Amino acid sequence: MSQKRPTAASPEQTSEQRARQRWLSTLAKADFEDLEALWNNLPAKPAWTVIRPPEIGMVMTRGRAGGTGQRFNLGEVTVTRCAVQLDYGAVGFGYVMGRNRHHAELAAVVDAIMQTPSRRDALERALIAPLSLRHEDSKRNRGRKAASTKVDFFTMVRGA
């Protein structure tokens, strides 16, 4: 039963899978208020049924020291997941960190719509692109703040 699961950005993935990973990641990392505001601004929304109500669980996160060392368990994080089906059959999944059930459901609905080629571009422009821009911004800000506290230690070389 053990199937090899492709990890992030493995070469055997199709471009469709990589695209979906990107928007799922954007939806998961987005601020819920931002996502909700953008969602409420959308003109037309399909109806959906919740096939797996949002549920809260734990996921073990793993890391590698320096990105290259042995894999180790970093700790468990709370994750909320949800699955929905749109009225025309597309199934969407939402996995978000934390306990926000609405966030998981909204992420699942957006994932389902993004799988519909005819609606993808409009939604990409209206929702995914602004969210990922905001995320990039906040990442840059955080990086800048951290960088401004950097201290350069230097040692006087004696006897030179």
Partner 1 sequence: MTLSPEIKPGFRDPVLDAQSVFRSLLEATARPGRIHTLEGITDAPAPLHPATAALCLTLVDHDTPLWIAPELQTEESLAFLRFHCGCPIIDTPGEAAFALASADKAPALSSCTPGEQAFPERSTTLIVQTDGLEAATGSLTLRGPGIESVHRLSVKGLRPGFWGEWQENGSLFPCGVDLIFVHGTDVVSLPRTTVVDADPEES
Q: Interface with partner 1 by CB under 8 A: which residues?
A: 1, 49-53, 55, 83, 85, 88-91, 115-117
Nearer to partner 1 by C-beta: 78 or 88? 88
Q: What are phi and psi of 129, to 5 degrees?
A: -60, -50
Q: Which of 94, 98, 100, 97 is nearest to 82 (CA)?
A: 94
Tokens of 55: 């549920």
Q: Which lies closer to partner 1 via its Cβ, residue 69 or residue 89?
A: 89
Residue 95: CB minimum distance to partner 1, A: 16
Residue 58 CB, shortest distance to partner 1, in Å, is 15
Look-up of token digits 């840059």: 140
Please, which residue, 100 or 115, has the CB nearer to partner 1? 115
| Nearest residue (CB) to partner 1, 12 versus 16 | 16
Q: Are 107 and 27 in contact (CB under 8 A)?
A: yes
Tokens read off for 153: 């230690």
Shortest spacing between CB 70 and partner 1, in angstroms: 29
Q: Coil, strand or helix: which one is 119?
A: helix
CA 139 and chain centroid, separation: 14
Closest approach of partner 1 to the CB of residue 119, in Å: 10
